Structure 1
Amino acid sequence: MSRVVVVIPLEPLHAGTRFAVREWPLHVTVVPPFSTHATIDDLARAIAETTAGVSAFPVTAGRGALFGRRHDIPVTLVDEDARLTGLHAALTAALHPLALPSSERSFQPGPYRPHVTVKGERRAAEGEVLRLRQVALVDMAPRSSPGGREVLATVELAPAQTG
């Protein structure tokens, strides 16, 4: 069984890259963490099929907020964008059948609040244009794992259309 999350990194990631929990690269989560028995190939294929034809696109960083159960995790909200909301909905629908029933909470309908979690001094500044170009599947190994998180697969979005 694996526990994974699907994110859009603000800087490109590469499969096999590892990082400590506190050193997460800045990203927007598009599918919250879920448990699965599916293979990495099956998950990557579902992501690739769902994003086929989706072009890279910009979004704008909004105001700051506090997330978490205790409202103590600083984040920068991402301004509402139909493309991002649509990508979230499509990936959630595609990956839900691959999730274990214990992960049902990750797939509950509700408002999608895209955001970038502040990591130390690293953050998305209000008004900053964030270019979304890639979707990454990341292993959510236990927080205590000495190897930290690992990027399992990445899918590039199509080049942004001009004109």
Structure 2
Amino acid sequence: MSPDEFPATDWPLHVTVVPPFETELAADQVAALVPLVPPIPIAGATRERFGTHGTVPVTVLRGSAALVALHTSLVDALDATGATLRDQRHIRADFRAHATDQRRGRLHPGEHALLTELCIVARAPGGLRRVAARVPLPPA
């Protein structure tokens, strides 16, 4: 396993900006769709449970116009390229930014963090996930 690969069951702590999608674009082409924005401050707000059966523990983030704008920009750009976003229920006006609890940690209500990088994650053989591209968010 390379340093950029991880088991699908062992994601690092992260915020999903765009739900899973399918595209014919290469990872660097998807990365080129990311607008140039500075790092985005985030903060945990409330604990909730997501998923069909309410079994996925998450920390919903406090409202962030910058994060919503980034999400909307990326969804619009992916749509324009013909990408298929699998879950249309949680995008644009229905986007609820959150950090899902992971084995290695979680974001707590009131805790602050700074998003400094976006990663394009792809499926890899053997049930692995691979960071296919990294897009740093440059300081303003």
TM-score (norm 2): 0.87
Residue 157 of structure 1 aligns with an amino acid whose one-letter code is: L
What is the CA–CA distance in structure 2 between the aligned matches of 1:37 and 1:106, rounded to whole Å?
22
The answer for unaligned runs of 5 or more in structure 2 is none
Evaluate the alpha carbon distance shift between residue 92 and residue 126 of structure 1 in structure 2; reply closer, same or farther with a 3 A threshold: same
Match of 1:117 in 2: 100
1:85 paired to 2:68: yes
Q: String of CA shifts for 1:98-135, please: whole Å, max 9, x gaps.
A: 34457473785432100000013511011000111111
Of residues 68, 71, 75, the one that matches 2:58 is 75
- Give the superposition deviation at 1:23: 1.3
Identity over the aligned pairs, expressed in percent? 32
What is the CA–CA distance in structure 2 between the aligned matches of 1:108 and 1:79, rounded to whole Å?
17
What is the CA–CA distance in structure 2 between the aligned matches of 1:150 and 1:92, rounded to whole Å?
21
Conserved in 2, the CA contact under 8 Å of 1:137 and 1:154?
A: yes
Q: String of CA shifts for 1:42-68, please: whole Å, max 9, x gaps.
A: 112112xx2x2x111211111110000
Evaluate the alpha carbon distance shift between residue 74 and residue 108 of structure 1 in structure 2; reply closer, same or farther with a 3 A threshold: closer
What is the CA–CA distance in structure 2 between the aligned matches of 1:152 and 1:18, rounded to whole Å?
9
Evaluate the alpha carbon distance shift between residue 121 and residue 41 of structure 1 in structure 2; reply closer, same or farther with a 3 A threshold: closer
List structure 1 segments (4+ residues) > 2 angstroms apart after TM superposition.
97-110
What is the CA–CA distance in structure 1 between the aligned matches of 2:48 and 2:63, rounded to whole Å?
15
The answer for unaligned runs of 5 or more in structure 1 is 1-14
Match of 1:129 in 2: 112
Of residues 122, 132, 138, the one that matches 1:152 is 132
Conserved in 1, the CA contact under 8 Å of 2:7 and 2:128?
A: yes
| Equivalent residue runs for 1:1-163 within 5 Å | 17-47=4-34, 50=35, 52=36, 54-101=37-84, 103=86, 105=88, 109-120=92-103, 122-141=105-124, 145-146=125-126, 148-159=128-139, 161=140
SS class of match (2:18): strand
Equivalent residues, number? 139
What is the CA–CA distance in structure 2 between the aligned matches of 1:29 and 1:122, rounded to whole Å?
16
Over the aligned positions, Cα root-mean-square deviation in angstroms equals 2.3
Residue 146 of structure 1 aligns with an amino acid whose one-letter code is: G
